[in-house]
Amino acid sequence: MQNIKLNVVNLSNDQNNSRVVIFQKNVAATFEELAVAWKVIQRLGSGDHHPFLFPLTMTVGASDSWGNYTPQLTAYPGQAFQMTLQPSGDVLSFQGPSSGPTQVDLNNNLIQGAINANIYKNGSLLSTKTSVAPGQKATFEFKPTIFIGVASQVVEGQVMNSAILSQINTEISLLGIASADIIMTGGGPGPNSTSFEFNLANVVMA
């Protein structure tokens, strides 16, 4: 499983040093669940570009109610993991097949204590489900797409509020892509400013 090489190019008229935020949505989640700012690009000047890698693999991790974090385990769609109490403490381990071939499950099989279930890409938090009680599970599923937009006051790795999410509706499919530029246009000062747009260019298929 290789990485997709992406490159955000700022050809916009932005004058505000806006932050470009990139994230994925957990399509297995209920509508109340908010998305995490997976990548935030700051101070991308006009004409500048920002290359980064989008891995096709992901890792799963958990944190418990005592503030402990497990090591991250490589997770593939169709796999389930579990948090159990071992003599050494709470341990995350592979459990078996998940509830669906496109999903990753994390089961809280502890006797007591809620956990936070986390999915990472490139070591950065991609999605989280908090307060998973004993006997419950978190389910994650992602389409091969990213959401990208411009926002202020967004911090990488933190959950975004619904007001920010409602402003970001550009969804870009990465299906079958090996590398591509993401061209940012629009913006600008004054009454003639237009909304920001993001479009793929120089696409190389896998």
Q: Are residues 79 and 176 in the same domain?
A: no
Per-residue pLDDT for 167 more than 70?
yes
Spatial distance between the Cα atoms of 58 and 126, rounded to a whole number of angstroms? 9
Q: Are residues 175 and 196 in the same domain?
A: yes
**Domain end (from 89, 114, 140):** 140
Q: Are residues 148 and 191 in the same domain?
A: yes
Predicted pLDDT of residue 155: 96
Q: Are residues 82 and 135 in the same domain?
A: yes
Q: Are residues 100 and 133 in the same domain?
A: yes
Length of the chain: 206
Predicted pLDDT of residue 152: 86
**Domain end (from 140, 169, 185):** 140
Confidence of residue 80 (pLDDT cuts 50, 70, 90): very high
Confidence of residue 148 (pLDDT cuts 50, 70, 90): very high
Spatial distance between the Cα atoms of 50 and 181, rounded to a whole number of angstroms? 10
Mean predicted confidence (pLDDT) in 34-61: 96
What pTM did the predictor assign?
0.94
Q: Are residues 136 and 151 in the same domain?
A: no
Q: Are residues 72 and 31 in the same domain?
A: no
Q: What is the mean pLDDT of the chain?
A: 94
Predicted pLDDT of residue 1: 57
Q: Are residues 121 and 176 in the same domain?
A: no
Mean predicted confidence (pLDDT) in 75-103: 96
Confidence of residue 191 (pLDDT cuts 50, 70, 90): confident
Give the total number of structural domains in the chain. Answer: 2
Instruction: Kindly calculate the radius of gyration of the chain based on its CA atoms and give it in whole angstroms.
Output: 19
Residue-wise pLDDT for 131-142, tens only, equals 999 999 999 999
Q: Are residues 157 and 169 in the same domain?
A: yes
**Domain end (from 91, 110, 140):** 140
Q: Are residues 118 and 171 in the same domain?
A: no
Torsion-angle region of 15 (φ positive above 0: left; ψ -120 to 50: alpha; else: beta): alpha
Spatial distance between the Cα atoms of 150 and 158, rounded to a whole number of angstroms? 16
Q: Are residues 65 and 134 in the same domain?
A: yes
* Domain hosting residue 98, numbered range: 58-140
Q: Are residues 32 and 12 in the same domain?
A: yes
